[in-house]
Amino acid sequence: MKKRYFGTDGIRGRVGEEPITPETVLKLGWAVGCVLGADGGDRGRVLIGKDTRVSGYLLESALESGLSAAGTDVSLLGPMPTPGIAYLTRTARARAGIVISASHNPYHDNGIKFFSAEGTKLPDDMELAIESAMQRSMRTVDSASLGKAERYRHAAGRYIEFCKSTFQAKDGLDGLTVVVDCANGAAYQIAPAVFAELGAHVISIADEPDGFNINSECGSTYPATLQKAVRAEGADLGIALDGDGDRVVMVDHAGSYVDGDQILFIIGAARDAAEALNGGIVGTLMSNLGLENACAARDIPFKRARVGDRYVMSMLQAEGWELGGESSGHIICLDKSTTGDGIVTALQVLAVIMDSGMTLAELKQGMQVFPQTIVNVPTPTAAGDKRRGRQGVDVQHSSRVLRAVRAVEAELGDQGRVLLRASGTEPVIRVMVEGADAKLVERLAQQLADAVKSAAREAA
């Protein structure tokens, strides 16, 4: 059965357009409740958290109503980072956790993601079961069996204490000045509190959400704001989260950008030196060649998964490893958390800084970053695909594009990589070229993107 609603990371779209409408989300909540009770046990309790988008109120109410109609109790967390919802779902022994967020997208988008009772992403068979239930007529349980709703007390405090517990440096963060960019998102209160309670002097920015400014010229997808703040404040470093708090990128004292690949390298190299890596590192097809080379130089096993945290997680589990992630800053430390966690990841880097006495700028020098250019090429969409943000018409395997790929690869030789990838969240082909010469990489990426554009026009 092909999924109709679920994409690579839950259900996502523009608010008011299918499937992010009150009617569909109400039915979704009911379907989740039905699936949770399909094993003959009680439907238990489901936790619902959200980021700071104005549409969160609407979707929260719809989900709550649907779950109640199916006989499932609900605990409302309010604004809470995605990894915090995963943690609380597991430790509160809830049947499932629901995240209302579109992550790094602008405010007019929203989405719904789910966690299992173990705090992990739902398996495909459960997503398919939910979609199957959504095709049935909605029936409300008897009034005596309706689910109840309550506010989850002390949710933020519990998650703050958990984050702090993952930081092991003996002297805390005393003496460190940190700028924290909260992206006007779900971590706007929690992240500054974590770093401050560990002893850092925290300068918080993008911490005044109004429902519309989430990820707007701030956060992990717009590091220029953090870079400017770090330089202006003379801070030791900066930390930028995304709207739902599961991604992190950093900035050193000079304002230089540190992405997810470099963060993976810093954590992995430190763990390897301490004989605590427990295997190797999982990156993705988009991970910089410099990360692969740096791992090879240290005899650290390195593997590439498909793009998407669920594929990184799957490979980690298959290999029995603990550390993996994406260039975007979605890092998974399985010995600390069951999912990507921006705050916890930042704390792992800060622990290396405090224990080694080295600056972030010094630590990142162990990995040479290869110039990489990514061009997003819009493509035609098949009917119904656009609303789900999926690739519609396949152009990346056309003869024109394949010839262009071979030509670019021949010019790069063994000093670079080429990757064409259909986005799982937008109707675009991501054209990536990587190599040692920045100008050559930029020219070849545009050359290849032009070939993809031509193929897309022919397919339209």
| Residue 103 bears catalytic tag | yes
- Using CA atoms, how far residue 332 sits from 192, 266, 382, in Å, is 21, 14, 34
Give the closest residue to 343 by CA, choosing from 114, 48, 86: 86
Phi and psi, residue 318, nearest 5° = -65, -35
Q: Which two tokens stand for residue 334?
A: 């399985």
* CA neighbours closer than 13 Å in the CB half-sphere of residue 169: 22
Q: How far apart are CA 110 and CA 11, in angstroms?
A: 9
Please state the three-class secondary structure of 353-368 as a single string: HHHHCCCHHHHHHHCC
Q: CB of 54 within 8 A of CB of 211?
A: yes
Task: Give all strands of the β-sheet with 248-252 in edge-to-edge order.
Answer: 201-205, 177-181, 237-241, 248-252, 257-258
Q: How far apart are CA 33 and CA 371, in angstroms?
A: 48
Residue with tokens 């409300």: 140
51-79 exposure pattern, b = at least 16 Cβ within 10 A, e = fewer: bbbebbebbbbbbbbbbbbbbbbbbbbeb
DSSP 216: T
Active-site residue among 55, 68, 103, 204?
103
Q: How far apart are CA 384 and CA 408, in angstroms?
A: 34
Task: Enumerate the H helices of 37-138 as residue ranges.
Answer: 56-69, 82-91, 124-134
User: How many residues comprise the chain?
Assistant: 460
Q: CB of 321 within 8 A of CB of 304?
A: no
DSSP 77: E
Instruction: Assign 422 to helix, strand or coil.
Output: strand
Residue with tokens 């933020």: 156
Q: Which two tokens stand for residue 195?
A: 């770093």
DSSP 266-279: HHHHHHHHTT---S
What are the catalytic residues? Answer: 103
